[in-house]
Structure 1
Amino acid sequence: MERNTPLVSVCMPAYNAGEYIADTVKSIIDQSYTNWELIMVNDGSTDDTAAILNQLTDTRIKVFHQENKGPSAASNQAFKLSKGKLIKFMDADDLLSPNYIQNQVSVINDDEDAIAFAAWGRFYNNSLKTFRLDDNFLTKSMKPAEWLIASMTDKQVMLQNAMFLIPRRILEVSGLWNETLSLINDFEFFIRVLLCAHELRFTNDAILYYRSGLAGSVSTTTSAKGAESAYHSVNLGTQYLLQQETSTRVNRIAADCFQRLVYTFYPQHKAVVQKAVLKVKELGGSSIAFPAGGYTKILASVLGWKATQYLKFIFKNRG
């Protein structure tokens, strides 16, 4: 294959994704770039995911079945089975615009120290009619540390799997997914990986359609294990950034990340909340507001955020 058309490996873990996975695979098959392989790891699904994958006939698609080990382990298995010079990790329920891979390959332009990224937006209820592009996303090519700092200042950074195209060489330096993490494992992983590149390059005419609002998805997990994973992922990811720059602005960013954990896990996971509160204090404090809208915002203004979260927790469990 010619130098400007390297093999791209799309590494896709799948767990109980039967309702959406066919559309996701189609968005890969419909890519204008044709030199790709799709490595799909069925991570012990209990729905019809396995049956759907076994019916795929495109020779560029490889399917591997394993017992349930979690998304990080499944992603690592997909990578181990891959052969591409460029790697894209991708969730089994998201979609890519038709020129996505082609334009990311072009922007990397055979530079093994550059990572491509692209625009994204959310859609709901299995309908692209609900899609809205995130217009607050930083669409500028930059040094990784500066991009991360800018993307994390006064807001949550988006580090979604399929957004990035990564040279294999960078992953060999950074290491793969941390298999002890489940909830927000992408936070730790992508900060670590991005900081091993010399440049992040924005890709024009490339959109990630991020499926949101799925009941029971990993991102909605609120188990004790999930809360601990979120804490450790934030702790590791912010440490990587602090190692790049010791400054007031990075301390503030890190403190804000831990404060979001406080808001998210109060009052259900007290141990994680207590650890996060200590981190906020150690880092100099956070001033980010409690995220609320509508009736929740009104209630929080009267009762305070803790009482509001407690009431939401009580009603959720009773419901």
Structure 2
Amino acid sequence: MNPLVSIIIPVYNSEKYIKNTIESCLQQTYTHIEIIIVNDGSKDNSEKIIKGFNDSRLKYYKIANSGPCYARNFGIEKATGDLFQFLDADDVLDQEKLESQVRYYQSHGDEYVYSGIMGFIINDQKQLEQGFDFYYKNLRIEEYFRKMFYHFGKYYTTGMWLLPRKLVEKTHGWDEKVRINNDGEYFSRIILHSKGIVFCPEAIFYYRRDVPMSVSKRFNSKDIYESWLYSYSCYVKCFQRTLNKKTANELGRKALSVYYCNSYPNYPDLLQECKDQIRLLGYHSPSAHGGKTFKLISAIVGVDNALKIKTLKDKGKLLPLNGLFT
């Protein structure tokens, strides 16, 4: 019997993209699906566009604006599927994405998370991500996190995964306190409850790079940075609950270092809080999170001094240095 796939899509003012997103779901070669659309208080024409579809597999709900994590949790409550596909309202699934992942699921079962190949869209042109090959194989849990933290800026986003209900029910849902990196925080918990990641090479997913005013582009207030640090603190707690102490502390340090190196020099009190958490894990300083040159300079002068040099360069107070920190 073919498992039912629940596709959950929170929507907030997404009139420009939601039609393409829904069409990519309805056009799947795997047809045993339900599409749960949660309108999170949109004020544009999103509702009109959604209601323009006539397909019994589409289930539409409208709630007061509560944020994407609440909307996804609402969708989980309404879902009846054996498998979960989360999408942002501007994502696009390749036609055979679900069919491929379901086929691997039928071979490997409920204890695994299912990945694939990620692409992006700019100006309606689709391209595959380059330099993501390290993800493109079956991965053990610890191996996945080490690769994710090692490869600067290369992360899977929400729509890549297909999740068995059994794993979804082992978590407390999407954490509504996480405004930045909520997908990374959520899927880290799912993966830590699994036996590993099964790579599905025919499964392709596209996210949009050219969407204005996404939350991740609005680092303009302290509460955003607080939420961002909180997301990485959650990684630490999950590692400590799930992995052996040595591995948990190592990966916890790497997670907190992502925040430290990417948020420097903003909000020194939060940077100090991050450092304090790293010291509780048994380390004196953050690890270098960045490009090869940044890591090399950090190895010579230390992470903080390397970050100071980078800040001066970004402000134009240093002579141009080819390839620095990239």
TM-score (norm 1): 0.85
Matched residue count: 303
In 1, the alpha carbon distance for the partners of 2:308 and 2:277 equals: 25
Q: How far apart, CA to CA, are the structure 2 residues paired with 1:289 and 1:146?
A: 17
Structure 1's 57 and 246: CA in aligned 2 closer, same or farther, altered over 3 A? same
In the alignment, what sits opposite 1:304? 309
Percent identity (aligned): 26
Q: Secondary structure at the match of 1:109?
A: helix
Between the aligned partners of 2:134 and 2:179, the Cα distance in structure 1 is 25
Q: CA deviation at 1:131?
A: 4.5
Alpha-carbon distance in structure 2 between the residues aligned to 1:234 and 1:302: 20
Q: Secondary structure at the match of 2:200?
A: strand
Residue in 2 aligned with 1:225? 223
Taking the aligned partners of 1:79 and 1:137, their CA distance within structure 2 comes to: 31
**Structure 2 counterpart of 1:262, one-letter code:** Y
Partner Cα distance (2:111, 2:266) in 1? 42
- 2:112 aligns to what? 114
Deviations, residues 212-236 of structure 1 (Å, cap 9, x unaligned): 1422102213132221111111111
Aligned to 1:288: 288
Note the C-alpha offset of 1:72. 0.4
Which stretch of the first structure deviates more once superposed, 195-204 or 139-148? 139-148
**Aligned equivalents of 1:167, 1:275: Cα separation in 2:** 36
Moved more, 265-274 or 16-25: 265-274
> How many Å separate the matches in 2 of 1:133 and 1:30?
26
In structure 2, the CA distance between the partners of 1:262 and 1:208, relative to structure 1 (3 Å rule), is same
* 2:170 partner SS: helix
- Answer whether contact 1:18 1:52 (CA < 8 A) is retained: yes
CA distance 1:170–1:132, change in 2 (3 Å): closer
Q: What are the within-5 Å matches in structure 2 for residues 1-319 of structure 1? A: 3=1, 5-109=2-106, 111-128=109-126, 130-156=127-153, 158-222=155-219, 223-246=221-244, 251-283=249-281, 284=283, 285-288=285-288, 304-308=309-313
Moved more, 50-59 or 85-94: 50-59
Q: Return the offset for 1:22.
A: 0.9
The answer as to whether partners of 2:8 and 2:37 remain within 8 angstroms in 1 is: yes
Q: Could you say what secondary structure the match of 1:42 adopts?
A: strand
Secondary structure of 2:177 counterpart? coil
Q: CA 1:159–1:241 in structure 2 vs 1: closer, same or farther (change >3 Å)?
A: farther
Q: Name the CA distance, whole Å, in 1 between partners of 2:315 and 2:53.
A: 47
Structure 1 unaligned spans of 5+: 294-299, 313-319
5+ residue gaps, structure 2, are 294-304, 318-326
> Is residue 119–residue 133 contact of structure 1 (8 Å, CA) maintained in 2?
no
SS at match of 1:40: strand
- 1:134-158, Cα deviation, whole Å (9 max, x unpaired): 4344122233333223333354562
Alpha carbons of structure 1 residues 78 and 109: separation in structure 2 relative to 1, 3 Å = same
Q: Which amino acid aligns with 2:288?
A: I
- Taking a change above 3 Å as real, the CA distance of residues 266 and 107 of structure 1, as seen in their structure-2 partners, is same
Q: 1:287 to 1:173 in 2, by over 3 A?
A: closer
Runs of 4+ in 1 over 6 A off after TM superposition: 300-303
What amino acid is the match of 2:286?
Answer: S
**Structure 1 residues 98 and 116, CA gap change in structure 2 (3 angstroms):** same
CA contact (8 A) 1:141 1:202 kept: yes
- How far the C-alpha of 1:307 sits from its partner, in A, is 3.2
Q: Distance in 2 between matches of 1:170 and 1:302?
A: 39
